[in-house]
């Protein structure tokens, strides 16, 4: 025992001594992020990608940007927790405080915020400096006079560099601080710029502020082609420039994240699929600040892995110290971590990552972008070695072409849910902002890819488009395209031959077919005896006859077989007694005839347990799988029992397998299931939309079933055609199942998902067709629109939009109006019949018991009466007899003939003396 304790103590001591020099498996890193920020979500995403040992364990504090007290408290809190490094954001008001703490305490701070001029080596700046790249672009365009709009929030380092270069090259620069500028101030600034004819403007702001400035520019109409803007921001693709390019303005910017790289695009895709249920920020694409945050986590993970590989001890022991101590107590291992961070050389989302001795990015590349009519395009890049390099010269079109591409196109459409709908608060809104829906978003995506701006216009007559057979004039959206009232039709417009003859269609953006809509039938409730439904009525009858037949056969074979007959069993193995022996045992001496003596010598009485009632009971017990207290003894009887058991096994198993489904499923019995069912009946009316492709399909069809349906619809009175889809749906809902509406499957599926959830689609599609975007014949927009549709389809955006507007916004729950049977919990109505049978059986048992009691009472009464009569007869016989009593109470018989002695007493007047027989 003592030896074991010594070994254990030695082992523990070795572990404790060894752990002091081992590298920690978990590295606590701090995080300082605003309450709701894109960078924090990316920080969580990055941690999920870097789980290698040593594992980074976050200690995050949400801070108020611009609040020095909040930032100080969070920093000191994390320092006291023993973090090895901190990643986070700062602004102009808190940057100096953070620099001071990091330098005094030797705590490394990794940040994607704007770079600053500092000698603090413990600040690792992930964002590259932009001033050199910006000067290179200005020189490329040959600007000598321009306006520099900046926000002091992001510091003045870029402006200082531009002003220094302007002094060297004699540039004329007008600087404007837009940090707190209002709309009126913007208007005044641009009025002054117009007077001086200055249209070359640089905007240097963070993304949030830049978005507001661009909105002011659009509202004041300063996005004309006479203006050229350079956005001094590293996230050119993160900015929505749709409104800005409508006027044809030239826009140049910088892009740090190269989305064309496979490794980058893969991570961006993973980011879009990342689970952010706890996030309060809507899911957006990976912005450049998020990419910098991701790279920051990667840099920290790589640095600590290198430290672990080099076996450098960085473990923190004891109290971490007080960050506000005077004088401050710097952390000894901070220098090692700072060196490891600065020595990292990796490729991240923002390109090559490398730091100089001051903790700033070096050897990086920035892409130069321009906004072309078709979207952003890369026109060059800048790096420290080659400076600005042009990769693609964007050939600008003539003024006429630019005017065509930037004119406002009229896009005709139709109010149809969920394609185009008015917003709930549309009254104060104007233009395209009044509408929402699948087509509204599709039109925006098409315009974004093609490079035009547009105005949505609802078709005046509310029709899709058909040719009048008398006037040969087109109505609806097709008519507006044919007669030049619209430039484009983005709507659920079906591609048909007759329409293709007068207008052009793009590739279909949605595939569909004609389907049947009916009112959802009421679910049939299960009957009282629904537990009998798993087997058909014929099977139940056959089971009853089989039960009776088996019982009868068992009774017969038991009667015929000698092995079913056996002597009666007596209690405790006693031998059967003859009447004489019974009388003798009772002290009564009887005289016997020779026949009686011969009968007493015969074997006991033979019995058979399988009477007709026992046979029925045996068969019932076997069918109910409860068994019975008797069983056949003969081979024939056992054969009957065996086949009956096999029969019941199969029947009961089949019944049990179907019982659950029949008890838990409420079935909807649909009156029709296909177009053939509609054509074969006249009780349910059916129709289509007037002046639409569905009506044309039936009118032109040569299929017998559809010809029959068209003949009915054409001759129906009242008319079965409706003017709008909403009218058709209301007619289905109010007809109590007496009207079916034929419409496109997509609209059918959508309505099935909307309240009151009382319609359903039955059968398959009657045809196959598609919706396309229509343009007038010879329109220059046809090919660009066609390519845009194909691109959106390949990107999966079309399916995403359909899921959003059909199913994500559904109001009928999971499955919506699906007509399939749904399993639910059992209710009392499902099994009420079983209880009724139980109650009925119990009542019948009580009634039979009462009848048995009455019958037995009456039988016993008669028996007792007969016994009394026999006793009275015996008494009278003794009194009138000549016999004398024997000794010891024995009765001596008289000398009567033996035949007389054995006769019973039949009346009170008998004068012969008889001996008592078993009394």
pLDDT of residue 436: 92
Contacts of 426 (CB under 8 A, 6+ apart): 434, 435
Q: What is the value of pTM for the model shown?
A: 0.46
Averaged over 621-625, what is the pLDDT?
Answer: 81
Q: Per-residue pLDDT tens for 83-141?
A: 889 999 988 888 888 888 888 888 899 999 888 887 788 899 999 998 889 999 998 88
| Cα-based torsion angle of the residue sequence 750, 752, 755, 757 in order, rounded to the nearest 10 degrees | -170
Looking at the chain, the whole-number percentage of residues with pLDDT higher than 90 is: 14
Choose the weakest-confidence range: 175-179, 593-597, 848-852. Answer: 593-597
Task: Kindly give the interhelix angle for 262-273 and 38-49, rounded to the nearest 10 degrees.
Answer: 110
- Is 735:746 a contact under the CB 8 Å cutoff? no
Which tokens sit at 365?
């590349």
111 strand-pairing partners:
125
Cα gap 638→631, rounded to integer Å? 8
- Is 213:203 a contact under the CB 8 Å cutoff? yes
The answer to whether residue 259 scores a pLDDT higher than 70 is yes
Task: Read off the pLDDT band of 189 (50, 70, 90).
Answer: confident
DSSP 391: -
Q: Per-residue pLDDT tens for 790-839?
A: 999 999 999 999 888 888 877 786 544 444 444 556 666 666 766 777 78
pLDDT of residue 746: 86
Residue, of 661 and 156, whose pLDDT is higher: 156
Cα gap 893→886, rounded to integer Å? 9
Q: How are the residues of the chain apportioned to helix, strand and coil, as percentages rounded to the nearest 5?
A: 45, 15, 40
Kindly report the backbone phi and psi dihedral angles of residue 388, in degrees, each rounded to the nearest multiple of 5, phi listed first: -80, 130
pLDDT of residue 153: 66
Task: Read off the pLDDT band of 3 (50, 70, 90).
Answer: very low
Task: Read off the pLDDT band of 242 (50, 70, 90).
Answer: confident
pLDDT of residue 627: 75
Contacts of 587 (CB under 8 A, 6+ apart): 889, 890
The answer to whether residue 478 scores a pLDDT higher than 50 is yes
pLDDT of residue 212: 86
174 strand-pairing partners:
147
712 class by beta-carbon count within 10 Å (0-12 exposed, 13-18 middle, 19+ buried): middle
Residue, of 282 and 760, whose pLDDT is higher: 760
Q: Whole-number mean pLDDT of the chain?
A: 79
Cα gap 85→304, rounded to integer Å? 10
- 488-489/667-668 β-pairing: unpaired
Query: Does a cis peptide bond (omega within 30 degrees of 0) precede residue 327?
Result: yes
Cα gap 201→206, rounded to integer Å? 16
Q: Per-residue pLDDT tens for 402-425?
A: 444 546 788 999 998 889 999 888
Task: Read off the pLDDT band of 202 (50, 70, 90).
Answer: very high
């Amino acid at each position: 025992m003592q030896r074991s304790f010594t070994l254990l103590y030695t082992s523990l001591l070795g572990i404790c001594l060894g752990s002091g020099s081992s590298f920690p498996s978990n590295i606590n890193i701090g995080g300082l992020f605003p309450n709701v920020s894109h960078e924090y979500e990316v920080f969580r995403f990055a941690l999920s990608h870097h789980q290698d040992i040593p594992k980074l364990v976050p200690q995050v504090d949400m801070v108020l940007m611009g609040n020095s007290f909040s930032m100080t408290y969070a920093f000191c809190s994390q320092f006291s927790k023993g973090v090895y490094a901190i990643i986070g954001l700062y602004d102009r008001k808190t940057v100096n405080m953070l620099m001071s703490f990091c330098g005094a305490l030797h705590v490394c701070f990794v940040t994607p915020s704007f770079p600053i001029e500092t000698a603090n080596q413990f600040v690792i700046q992930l964002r590259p400096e932009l001033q050199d790249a910006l000067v290179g672009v200005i020189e490329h365009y040959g600007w000598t006079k321009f306006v520099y709009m900046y926000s002091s929030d992001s510091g003045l380092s870029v402006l200082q560099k531009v002003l220094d270069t302007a002094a060297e090259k004699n540039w004329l620069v007008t600087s404007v601080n837009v940090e707190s500028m209002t709309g009126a101030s913007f208007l005044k600034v641009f009025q002054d710029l117009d007077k001086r004819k200055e249209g070359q403007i640089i905007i240097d702001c963070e993304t949030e502020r830049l978005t507001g400035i661009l909105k002011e520019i659009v509202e004041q109409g300063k996005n004309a082609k006479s203006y050229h803007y350079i956005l001094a921001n590293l996230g050119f693709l993160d900015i929505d420039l749709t409104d800005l390019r409508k006027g044809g303005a030239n826009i140049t910017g910088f892009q740090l994240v190269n989305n064309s790289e496979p490794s980058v695009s893969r991570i961006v895709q993973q980011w879009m699929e990342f689970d952010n249920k706890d996030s309060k920020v809507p899911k957006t694409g990976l912005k450049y600040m998020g990419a910098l945050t991701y790279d920051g986590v990667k840099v920290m993970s790589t640095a600590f892995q290198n430290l672990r590989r080099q076996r450098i001890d960085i473990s923190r022991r004891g109290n971490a110290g007080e960050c506000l101590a005077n004088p401050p107590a710097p952390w000894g291992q901070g220098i090692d971590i700072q060196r490891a961070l600065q020595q990292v050389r990796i490729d991240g989302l923002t390109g090559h990552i490398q730091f100089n001795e001051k903790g700033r990015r070096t050897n990086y590349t920035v892409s130069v972008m321009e906004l072309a009519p078709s979207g952003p395009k890369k026109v060059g890049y800048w790096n420290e070695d080659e400076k600005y390099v042009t990769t693609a010269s964007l050939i600008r079109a003539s003024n006429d072409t630019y005017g065509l591409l930037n004119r406002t196109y009229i896009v005709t459409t139709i109010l149809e849910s969920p394609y185009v709908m008015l917003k709930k608060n549309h009254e104060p809104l104007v233009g395209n902002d009044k509408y929402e829906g699948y087509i509204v978003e599709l039109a925006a995506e098409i315009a974004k890819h093609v490079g035009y701006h547009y105005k949505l216009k609802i078709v005046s007559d509310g029709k899709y488009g058909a040719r009048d057979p008398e006037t040969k004039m087109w109505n609806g959206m097709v008519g507006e395209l044919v007669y030049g009232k619209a430039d484009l039709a983005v709507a659920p417009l079906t591609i048909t031959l007759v329409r293709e003859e007068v207008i052009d269609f793009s590739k279909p953006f949605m595939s569909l077919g004609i389907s049947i809509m009916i009112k959802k039938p009421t679910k049939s409730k299960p009957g009282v005896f629904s537990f009998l439904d798993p087997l058909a009525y014929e099977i139940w009858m056959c089971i009853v006859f089989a039960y009776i037949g088996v019982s009868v056969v068992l009774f017969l074979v038991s009667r015929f077989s000698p092995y079913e007959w056996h002597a009666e069993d007596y209690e405790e193995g006693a031998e059967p007694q003859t009447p004489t022996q019974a009388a003798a045992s009772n002290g009564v001496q009887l005289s016997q005839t020779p026949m009686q003596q011969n009968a007493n010598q015969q074997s006991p009485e033979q019995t058979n347990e399988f009477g007709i009632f026992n046979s029925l009971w045996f068969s019932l017990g076997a069918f109910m799988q409860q068994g019975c207290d008797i069983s056949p003894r003969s081979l024939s009887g056992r054969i009957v029992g065996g086949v009956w058991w096999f029969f019941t096994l199969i029947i009961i198993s089949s019944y049990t397998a179907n019982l659950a489904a029949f008890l838990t499923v409420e079935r909807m019995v649909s009156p029709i299931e296909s177009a053939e069912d509609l054509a074969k009946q006249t009780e349910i009316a059916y129709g289509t939309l007037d002046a639409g492709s569905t009506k044309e399909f039936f009118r032109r069809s040569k299929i017998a079933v559809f010809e029959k349906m068209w003949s009915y619809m054409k001759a129906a009175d009242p008319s079965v055609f409706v003017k709008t889809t909403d009218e058709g749906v209301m007619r289905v809902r109010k007809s109590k199942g007496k009207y079916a509406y034929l419409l496109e499957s997509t609209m059918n599926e959508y309505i099935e998902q909307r309240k009151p959830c009382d319609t359903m689609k039955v059968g398959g599609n009657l045809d196959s067709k598609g919706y396309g975007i229509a343009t007038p014949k010879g329109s220059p927009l046809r090919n660009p629109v066609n390519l845009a549709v194909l691109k959106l389809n390949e990107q999966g955006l079309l399916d995403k939009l359909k899921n959003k507007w059909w199913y994500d916004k559904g109001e009928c729950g999971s499955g919506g109006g699906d007509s399939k049977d749904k399993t639910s919990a059992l209710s009392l109505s499902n099994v009420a019949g079983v209880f009724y049978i139980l109650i009925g059986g119990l009542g019948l048992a009580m009634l039979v018991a009462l009848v048995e009691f009455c019958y037995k009472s009456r039988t016993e009464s008669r028996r007792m009466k007969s016994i009394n009569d026999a006793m009275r007869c015996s008494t009278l016989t003794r009194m009138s007899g000549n016999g004398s009593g024997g000794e010891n109470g024995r009765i001596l018989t008289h000398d009567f003939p033996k035949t007389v002695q054995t006769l019973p007493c039949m009346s009170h007047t008998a004068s012969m003396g008889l001996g008592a027989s078993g009394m």
